[in-house]
A and B are shown apart, each in its own frame.
Chain A
Amino acid sequence: MAIMGTFAFEDDFLAAAENLVSSGFDNISLLSPIPLEEAQEVLGLGKSPVRRFSLAGAMIGGASGIAMCVATALVFILPTGGRAIIAIPPYLVITYEMTILFGVLFTLLGFHFVSGLPAWRDKPYTEAASIDRFVVVVEGTAGEQAAQAEAIIRDAGAEEIKHVEDGG
């Protein structure tokens, strides 16, 4: 069972989130129509691991860029005007582009991996969260714990509290 509290104001929503975290609830989702740094801080979200994907992608891209140029030159040898078969300066341009290409692709991969998206399974959600409402969802609670979570959300000023299925 999950408890879903809907708020009209950011500060009420953040107060509820803080109180829930300090009371030991750890399975909390904070839904908002805009990114809120304070909400991320409440959940202790620091530096994102996405940056490691970006770095790895850029490094792999750079290495494969130069490798592709060298391999292509060796597979199809094309002598032009006595120039080197493996010519590093022009290959640096390709390497540069491949560094960026793979950096971008790995960042995309990192985004999906870290955020857990795509996630098309039903999860507690209200459409107002994409308009102008802030929503606190406490999942995996029952009995006394659920009552405590509900009390915290109500005290913070929620305009609506719902009990919904956990989903997933």
Chain B
Amino acid sequence: MFDHGQPSYADVNKDVLSTMLETGPRYWILLGTTMSIAVICFFMPWLYQLFVGIGAAGMNRNAVWGTYISNFIFWIGLSHSGTLLSAVLHITNSHWRKSIYRSAEAMTLFSLMTAALFIMVHVGRVWFVHWTFPIPNPMGLWPNFRSPLMFDVMAITTYLTASSIFIYMGSVPDFAAVRDASTGLRRRLYTIFSFGWRGTAREWHTLGWAYTFFAVFVIPLAVSVHSIVSWDFALSIVPGLHHTIFAPYFVCGAIYSGTAGIVTVMYCLRKFLGFEKYIGQVHLDNLGKLLIALSLIWSYINILELFSTWYGGTSFELEALKFRLTGFYAPLYWEMITFCAFVPLLIFFKKIRWSWNKMLVVSILINIGMLTERFIIVATSLPRKFLPDAFGFYLPSWVEISITIGSFAIFATLFLIFIKWVPAVSLYEVKETLKPLRRNT
């Protein structure tokens, strides 16, 4: 598992904690850049939209959903592999999970936060967003729990809560290690964060049981979240959206883009935090194999979607299909097919699968394809419902494009803050994979 020889227990603490406790100028420059991009590209255009109204976005009477919703689905999707993969691999006791899961779970958390921001941007009057929660409000208006949008609110709130608890609880022993390695205010803070953890057998025993239960709860939750997101579309009768395959399609797509996202994040951790010792070839190889499997499932579902639409033969479904394959957004559709169905086949070659640089390119292309997929779902369906004389068109405005770019900067900013507050690699779980400290081995 370790490409550069096995480290000692003390090395693990030193290597991982030094990335938190020692901060060079490169970090501050990077953080300043991402924060500036987030402010300029995300928050300022959002503020502009709040002043002039939702008309600043390219949405119109037919196209009531646009890039805000497609980006929301993308970010929710990206969140999927982290916690889900971590939970599944924990239950199945896969050792290769141990050095990558913490950052993967953080990816989940920050993707969810970014996704939630898009809902705030999309609703326009963000100050009324609390109306979606079942709490008393001056209007006496209560949410309609028959609506898939309310399913969404409940699912995402639950997922955000569960993912936060999952990553926090897994980090408690490591917070204790940070406490022990630091002084002053940081020590006091981490004493609070670690709950006074000492690493007693009883504490480990209780954490082990609780963590397993968290994992058991999180697995069906993660599957339900993207199923529910798909029902925002599929429970309508809009041509191009009303498909029973949508829930597995969305879940598969989510895990697919999330896994590709993990490859990208792992590349950055190796490159910028020097985690080559802990994130090695075995991780890349396993993630690569997972990507191949997911890409094949994703391709199969896409073919199935085309087939069932064609086989159904209804005029409005065929029209929606024709527009998707040959209409204005057809180049984007075929770009998506190229990036998500064909490019990942390259991972079959060991030369590609074992190269961090090549896998980085493949993982980024997959996520470009997945971002496009979500855009196509929204932009080629809602504006073109049933009657041709009511057909509309959707083109994102500069505000939407800018906010889309800014969202990546928000994610990067959150991740950069995370690596200074939480050990990006789990100390105790990496130690578990090392040779036991026994006199008689």
> Are A101 and B162 also in contact (CB < 8 A) when A45-B202, A129-B198 are?
yes
A104–B200 touching, CB < 8 Å: no
Q: Pick the contact of A111 from B13, B169, B436 — CB < 8 Å?
A: B169
Chain A's nearest CB lies how many Å from the CB of B218? 8
B201–A40 touching, CB < 8 Å: yes
Chain A's nearest CB lies how many Å from the CB of B16? 11
> Are A90 and B180 also in contact (CB < 8 A) when A34-B431, A100-B217, A114-B206 are?
no
Q: Kindly state the interface size class of chain B when it binds its partner.
A: 35 or more
CB-defined contacts of A45 to chain B, threshold 8 Å = 201-202, 205
Interface residue ranges of A34-56 to B (CB < 8 Å):
34-36, 39-40, 42-43, 45, 47-48, 50-51, 54
Chain B's nearest CB lies how many Å from the CB of A95? 10
B146–A31 touching, CB < 8 Å: no
A58-89 interface code vs B (CB 8 A; 1 in, 0 out): 10000000001100110110101001000100
Determine whether B94 belongs to the interface, using a CB cutoff of 8 Å to chain A. no
CB-defined contacts of A130 to chain B, threshold 8 Å = 13, 173, 176-177, 180, 199
Chain A's nearest CB lies how many Å from the CB of B185? 16
Determine whether A162 belongs to the interface, using a CB cutoff of 8 Å to chain B. no
A96–B224 touching, CB < 8 Å: yes
B432–A34 touching, CB < 8 Å: yes
> Are A107 and B217 also in contact (CB < 8 A) when A123-B198, A129-B198 are?
yes
A78–B196 touching, CB < 8 Å: no
Chain B's nearest CB lies how many Å from the CB of A5? 14
B214–A107 touching, CB < 8 Å: yes
A68–B134 touching, CB < 8 Å: yes
Chain A's nearest CB lies how many Å from the CB of B429? 8
CB-defined contacts of B150 to chain A, threshold 8 Å = 94
CB-defined contacts of A110 to chain B, threshold 8 Å = 210
Determine whether B143 belongs to the interface, using a CB cutoff of 8 Å to chain A. yes
Determine whether A161 belongs to the interface, using a CB cutoff of 8 Å to chain B. no
How many pairs of A and B residues are in contact by the CB < 8 Å rule?
190
Interface residue ranges of B240-288 to A (CB < 8 Å):
none
Determine whether B52 belongs to the interface, using a CB cutoff of 8 Å to chain A. no
A100–B162 touching, CB < 8 Å: yes
B146–A90 touching, CB < 8 Å: yes
A40 to B209, CA, bound (A): 12
Chain B's nearest CB lies how many Å from the CB of A104? 5
A39–B201 touching, CB < 8 Å: yes
A11 to B201, CA, bound (A): 15
A93–B151 touching, CB < 8 Å: yes
Determine whether B438 belongs to the interface, using a CB cutoff of 8 Å to chain A. yes
Which 5 A/B pairs are nearest by Cβ-Cβ distance? Answer: A132-B9, A48-B209, A35-B204, A118-B195, A127-B180
Additional A-B contact list (14), CB under 8 Å, known A97-B224, A110-B210: A12-B439, A36-B201, A36-B204, A48-B205, A73-B145, A91-B146, A93-B155, A111-B169, A112-B195, A116-B202, A117-B195, A117-B197, A130-B199, A132-B437
Residues of B that sit less than 8 Å from A by CB: 8-10, 13, 134, 140-147, 150-151, 154-155, 157-158, 161-162, 165, 169, 172-173, 176-177, 180-181, 191-192, 195-210, 213-214, 217-218, 220-221, 224, 228, 427-428, 431-432, 436-440
A sample of 24 cross-chain residue pairs with beta-carbon separation below 8 angstroms, ordered by A number, consists of A9-B437, A29-B201, A29-B202, A40-B204, A45-B205, A48-B208, A72-B134, A72-B143, A80-B144, A90-B146, A90-B151, A91-B146, A93-B154, A97-B154, A107-B214, A108-B165, A108-B169, A112-B195, A114-B206, A117-B172, A117-B197, A129-B198, A130-B176, A132-B10
